[in-house]
Amino acid sequence: MKLLKFINIKAILLLASVCILLLSFLKDTEYVKSSPLAKLFVTRSNSQETPEITETQKIVSEESIVIDIVERSLPSVVTIGISKKTQTQGSIEIDPNNPFSPFRRVEGEEKTIEQNIGSGFIISKDGIIITNKHVVFDTKASYTVLTDGKEEYDVTKIYRDPLNDLAILKIEATDLVPLALGDSSKLKLGQLAIAIGTPLGEFQNTITTGIVSGLGRGITAGSPFQGFVEELSNVIQTDAAISPGNSGGPLLNSSGQVVGVNTAIAGDGQNIGFAIPVNVVKELISTFESQGGTFERPYIGVRYNMVDKRTAMLNEVVEGAFIETVIKDSPADLAGVKEEDIITRVDGKKLDGENEQSLAKIILNKKVGDTMDLDVWRDGKVLQITITLGAFSE
């Protein structure tokens, strides 16, 4: 009887083992997956299984933002071209058959050079465009704007910002698509940056992406060999590729808003580009509008250097704007300002000798025809002089 019990138990255990082994082979079959037995085979790996990421899902998550921004922004980005007449170098000819004949001078030929040189972006439906000042710095040339739709317009007016590497262009057009301006003070390191422009003046609508690599940078832009050098402060650094010809194009955020104006690249580095913050553009637009949007820039007609407190003490003078040159027949000249005068106050406000743009900013916040009351230090005496601002012609 004890032997029979032992055999029954052994048989039961053997049968159970066979069943478990059989079910383990069947667990991935459609029959078991669709039956109540499927619950017996929920393993740790099954419970932590992640869904397969398809190529479509990857595009949606990583690229759709950029694609959407580009599609919305391209109609608002333009290519800027230049047209300028130049004279080819003359030559001297001699008669090969008569070495004693006099030289004959041949005058050079006049040629017109036309090429694309930069980028810009539309900020109003009626044809106001932002670009860099160095793109349109040649006052003797004429400029054109080519839109994404391949429509070409002549630039009729140019307002060049004397404080920053920015310019406002005007074309005669309607129903253009403007870009929205963001807030560069809210930029964060590492956020998405999208640059659009025409690199090398040839490849229109080139898109490059990167991140905001740095904020508040100070750089020297341009080249002394090109005759254009400018100190730029508080600019945005990005690793989105920027090339010659991209200058003046927009730097966009992930909402498609302009956060900067592509301006310069580091000549001795790779993937180091710089953009003027859009809030500086907003200040320029505000100044432009306060002057009536007439494209006339007010001026007084002097060249000056600021004298700070330390320099003033060392030279026994006063703090303010030291006048180096007075332009003949300018508003300052007609009002009686002289070289070596020091302007200490404007409309009762003391000038800050530490700020090189102290006087310039006051002038730019006025309109052509406005007056300025100056306190002028001359030979130890303070004089009061009133100037009527004129229109600067470039």
Q: What does DSSP say about strands 258-265 and 381-388: parallel, antiparallel, or unpaired?
A: unpaired
Catalytic residue among 184, 213, 247, 358: 247
| Residue 330 is a catalytic residue | no
Catalytic residue among 73, 134, 161, 184: 134
> In angstroms, rounded to a whole number, what is the distance separating the alpha carbons of residues 129 and 76?
9
| Residue 91 is a catalytic residue | no
Question: CB count, 10 Å around CB of 265?
Answer: 20
| Three-state secondary-structure class, residue 323 | strand
> In angstroms, rounded to a whole number, what is the distance separating the alpha carbons of residues 266 and 237?
10
Structure tokens at 170: 């005007």
Terminal Cα-to-Cα distance of the chain (whole angstroms): 122
One-letter-per-residue 3-state SS of 185-252:
HHCCCCCEEEEEECHHHCCCCEEEEEEEEEEEEEEEEEECCCCEEEEEEEEEEECCCCCCCCCCCEEE
| Residue 134 is a catalytic residue | yes
Least Cα distance to 118 among 164, 184, 71, 166 occurs for 166
> In angstroms, rounded to a whole number, what is the distance separating the alpha carbons of residues 135 and 16?
86
> In angstroms, rounded to a whole number, what is the distance separating the alpha carbons of residues 293 and 185?
26
Q: Which residues contact 81 (CB under 8 A, 6 or more apart)?
A: 114, 115, 116, 117, 143, 144, 145, 146, 201
Over the range 280-293, which residues count as b (16 or more CB within 10 Å of their CB) and which as e?
bbbbbbebbeebee
> In angstroms, rounded to a whole number, what is the distance separating the alpha carbons of residues 343 and 358?
11
Catalytic residue among 76, 119, 161, 165: 165
- Contact (Cβ atoms closer than 8 angstroms) between residue 202 and residue 245: yes
Half-sphere exposure of 355 (CA within 13 A, CB side): 11
- Contact (Cβ atoms closer than 8 angstroms) between residue 385 and residue 376: yes
E-strand ranges in 14-109 read 77-87, 91-93, 104-106
Active centre residues (catalytic): 134, 165, 247
